[in-house]
Structure 1
Amino acid sequence: MQAISLPSAGSVAALYNQYKLKPIWFKNGAPTVAATQLTQILRRAPLDGLGSGPQLADQIDAAVAGATNPTAISQAEQLMSSAWVLYVQTIRRPTSGMVYAYDVLKPQGTRPDQILLGASSAPSLEAHVSSVAAVNPIYSSIRDAEWKRMQATGSSTPDPRVVANLDRVRSIPSKGRFILVDSASQRLFMYENGIPVDSMKVVVGMPTMPTPLISSVMYYVTFNPQWNAPVHLVKGPIATKTLAGGMKYFDHMGYEVMADWTANSAVLPADSVDWKAVSTGKAPPPRIRQKPGKDNFMGLLKFTFPNSQDIYLHDTPAKEKFKLASRDVSNGCVRLEDAQRFGRWLLGREPVAPGTDPEIPVQMPQGVPIVITYITAQPSADGSSLTFAKDIYGWDKPGAQIASSYVSPVAAAR
């Protein structure tokens, strides 16, 4: 068997020397239970994206078998620590294509000293190894089901769809209070102490304008939201219906023509626009804003959070969309089946508007992390198998590039 040269070996050797570390994986000259755990973890590591895991496990087994003197024990010890460092760095990679609003939301703790000192100081190394390797409950349930299938069939190669799913769920918190939006199942989940306590249907982006992967933090709820019409709607149905119905249609919808995209833009007379020229593309489409109200396309509540894609969650008057079996019909943002219930969970009280002014932000008691992801791999109730939801965005395909084609109205106007 050819030995694998581990990129972490040099830094691990330096750390053992610098901190005078005692053996982590050996006790009284014999390998611990955690050493066996490590080789078991490495054998399934191709699921985590570490293809060399099984070969590393064989290498460790051989080193442990030959660890009959202090020098050999030291070599086996550092080999295991180097493999552990590499494994932890692998499972703590940022999710491919995910928009992180803040760097701190990326998986943390990837420095060799953090990983190794965390293991050496753990009250129970076995519990520490299990906890780190679990990543989060969703990740471990998907991985465990696929590992059972691989063992039952004798397969050494994981389903690439599972590997893609594991990458997309890697950044979900393992505990605490957070929001999870799954574009594949088109549901939102509210988590408390790492456990889902409520969920609801959502409408997500269509395949041509997919809802992107995002990790951010929500800090406030916006009452009486206004709606800025996307440019393609202004050029299309809004211009067409205004030509057909005149200003009566425009006023009925609560639309306003804005002079520009600034926050304090002036309002222009609707009849100052050459709607025929707009509909034919001969004139640039103006910014159209819809006043707050029950018929506003944002509904009564909007839930924003920092992200570079201008994606947010919001209420909607179009409740019939939630009866659809496949609810991938938005321009990228996420519409909520029950915005009032969601607002109540966030605020800890009834979400009542504090006034009639448009766009009133109300701060939440504390920021709540939100992760928008795409989970097509669904474990069975007993965790023994996986079923796959329809891959509406094509992100399960090998080599798929996860990127959003969503364009905000502001960006589209430029």
Structure 2
Amino acid sequence: MRVGLRKMVSSLTSGAMIGALTWALAPGPLAAEPVVAAANATIDADMVRKAGGEIYTFYAERGYRPLWLDGQGQPGPGAQALLELLATASIDGIDPARLDLDALKAAIASAQSRSPADVTRAEILTSNAFVTYVQMLRTTAGDAMTYEHPNLRPQSVPAYHILKDSQNASSLGDYVAQMRWMHPLYATLRGNLTTVESDGSLKKALMSSLARVRGIPNSRRQVVVDVASARLWMYEDGKPVDSMRVVVGKKNTPTPLLAGYIRYAITNPYWNVPSEMVASNIASNVVRRGVGYLRAGGYQVLSDWSANPGIVDPATINWRVAARGGLDLRVRQLPNGGNFMGKAKFEFPNPFGIYLHDTPQKDLMLRSARQFSGGCIRLEDAQRFGRWLMRGDFQTEADRPEVKVNLPAPVPIYITYLTVQAVDGRMALGPDPYGLDLRQVPMTASAPRSGTPPS
């Protein structure tokens, strides 16, 4: 039964763990799956050979045993699950007509005649439809994510490997129904979309969140940050293994949607104050309180942005001009207990200069809406995050500033924006702090106090 979306929508709580829900809410196992093909059941080798290409290679390697149909020409659970997905492919942003679903249904119906030619034709068409569908899903659906490297994008996979992965699944029916070639968030959200009616701005939110997840491939280890709910997850082998709260960018300084590789950490870091913050905050405070403000906060004025700048006497600076934005000054904060970078930061090259870092302002993590930064991502527990990245010990204490610690291997990070999730089997409408998806008033954070750093 289809139900109205508004009856099924509930608000996400601030601590809702999207990743942890993924597996709990993923489509459950199908009924006990019979052996798809009897040991001696085969399809017509000559017809498969004429089909050629990777389809031929795949079936020849498995002795021409059918994958989708049983020895009586009946579709197995995998084929049934595939037909359901193809019938609702418009949810994925795919025109079902491109999948030739009617021809596939007719071929499967004809296969019940048990004619070797009909069974073979249905088997080949089912494999072709599955490969086409999977390959279409591996495009990014036009989402706005910026990828630092092409390898971070969902990758096109050859037909042979797509079929081989499905063959190796313990249950073909579950593999297809749960769309295990996609990110684990995808099937959960998609499955709930098929049970609701939607319109207007709510439909836009649903489809936008699904398209954004579609732009995240499923990799062995990865970090996913949802800006909308201000939360981070650590994934291993398709499962969330840890999660924490984060602080993300304000609406006027939003955290961009991007993907990169976390390559190293810096312990005992400096905080290089952004130029706009020097004018709006640092310089104005010096005008009001004198250069003692800089000493008390552990700030230094530097000569330039080179790797080895000189230190400038702040008494030589016209701070009133600087407060009006008339000077381009480099100011950094020394590592100390109040340093706005905390004890560590984690770098991943990107055109926006975004990174993750520790923070001394732990109280902000208790807020339900956590959009306070200038775009960078502040971590609830940088030490725990570092241990996961390093696969073991992570020491943040150092006897000198800016100690670089390389990761054992780069870890992909995907920063996305999800305003709709599946919670307890229902659609849950979460906050939309940047107003990207909904017409209603977005849930946004109020500034905790003046002078909060933007990073």
Q: TM-score range by the shorter chain?
A: 0.7 to 0.9
Conserved in 2, the CA contact under 8 Å of 1:224 and 1:360? Answer: yes
Q: 1:181 aligns with which of 225, 231, 249?
A: 225
Structure-to-structure mapping, 1:30-109, within 5 angstroms: 30-33=73-76, 34-52=78-96, 56-67=100-111, 75-94=121-140, 96-109=143-156
Q: 2:433 aligns with which of 384, 392, 396?
A: 392
**Partner residue in 2 for 1:376:** 419
Aligned to 2:360, the other structure's residue is in SS state coil
Which stretch of structure 1 is more off in the superposition, 214-223 or 332-341? Answer: 214-223
Structure-to-structure mapping, 1:143-222, within 5 angstroms: 143-149=190-196, 159-172=203-216, 174=218, 176-222=220-266
**Partner residue in 2 for 1:296:** 339
Instruction: Give 2:53's aligned amino acid.
Output: L
Q: 1:364 aligns with which of 397, 407, 412?
A: 407
Instruction: List per-residue Cα deviations over 1:302-338 (Å, max 9, x = no partner).
Output: 1112323211111112223223221111111001122
Unaligned residue ranges in structure 2 (runs of 5+): 1-49, 440-455
Cα separation, partners in 2 of 1:133 and 1:199, compared to 1, 3 Å: closer
Cα separation, partners in 2 of 1:161 and 1:117, compared to 1, 3 Å: same
Conserved in 2, the CA contact under 8 Å of 1:40 and 1:57? Answer: no
Per-residue deviation, 1:125: 4.7
Conserved in 1, the CA contact under 8 Å of 2:222 and 2:235? Answer: yes
The whole-number CA distance in structure 1 between the counterparts of 2:54 and 2:393 is 56
Per-residue deviation, 1:241: 1.0
Per-residue deviation, 1:359: 0.9
Instruction: List per-residue Cα deviations over 1:146-174 (Å, max 9, x = no partner).
Output: 22335xx9x9xx93322211222234454
The whole-number CA distance in structure 2 between the counterparts of 1:166 and 1:244 is 50
Conserved in 2, the CA contact under 8 Å of 1:101 and 1:307? Answer: yes
Conserved in 1, the CA contact under 8 Å of 2:57 and 2:160? Answer: no
User: Does 1:15 find its partner at 2:61?
Assistant: no
Conserved in 1, the CA contact under 8 Å of 2:55 and 2:160? Answer: no
The whole-number CA distance in structure 1 between the counterparts of 2:170 and 2:235 is 28
TM-score (structure 1 length as normaliser): 0.80
The whole-number CA distance in structure 2 between the counterparts of 1:133 and 1:178 is 16
Per-residue deviation, 1:18: 6.3
User: Does 1:263 find its partner at 2:307?
Assistant: yes
Cα separation, partners in 2 of 1:124 and 1:355, compared to 1, 3 Å: closer
Which stretch of structure 1 is more off in the superposition, 116-125 or 249-258? Answer: 116-125
Conserved in 2, the CA contact under 8 Å of 1:226 and 1:290? Answer: yes
Aligned to 1:298, the other structure's residue is in SS state coil
Aligned to 1:30, the other structure's residue is in SS state coil
Structure-to-structure mapping, 1:214-233, within 5 angstroms: 214-233=258-277
The whole-number CA distance in structure 2 between the counterparts of 1:219 and 1:55 is 40
The whole-number CA distance in structure 1 between the counterparts of 2:212 and 2:173 is 27
The whole-number CA distance in structure 1 between the counterparts of 2:395 and 2:139 is 41
Aligned to 1:215, the other structure's residue is in SS state strand
Instruction: List per-residue Cα deviations over 1:161-220 (Å, max 9, x = no partner).
Output: 222112222344546443222111111223344333332221101122221223233233
Cα separation, partners in 2 of 1:111 and 1:309, compared to 1, 3 Å: farther
CA RMSD of aligned residues (A): 3.2
Instruction: Give 1:298's aligned amino acid.
Output: M
Per-residue deviation, 1:75: 4.9
The whole-number CA distance in structure 1 between the counterparts of 2:335 and 2:58 is 65
Conserved in 2, the CA contact under 8 Å of 1:240 and 1:279? Answer: yes
Aligned to 1:355, the other structure's residue is in SS state coil
Cα separation, partners in 2 of 1:226 and 1:20, compared to 1, 3 Å: closer
Conserved in 2, the CA contact under 8 Å of 1:311 and 1:332? Answer: yes
Aligned to 1:178, the other structure's residue is in SS state strand
The whole-number CA distance in structure 1 between the counterparts of 2:423 and 2:175 is 27
Cα separation, partners in 2 of 1:133 and 1:279, compared to 1, 3 Å: same
Conserved in 1, the CA contact under 8 Å of 2:343 and 2:397? Answer: no
The whole-number CA distance in structure 2 between the counterparts of 1:257 and 1:307 is 26
Equivalent residue pairs, number:
379
Cα separation, partners in 2 of 1:295 and 1:224, compared to 1, 3 Å: same
TM-score (structure 2 length as normaliser): 0.73
The whole-number CA distance in structure 2 between the counterparts of 1:234 and 1:397 is 35
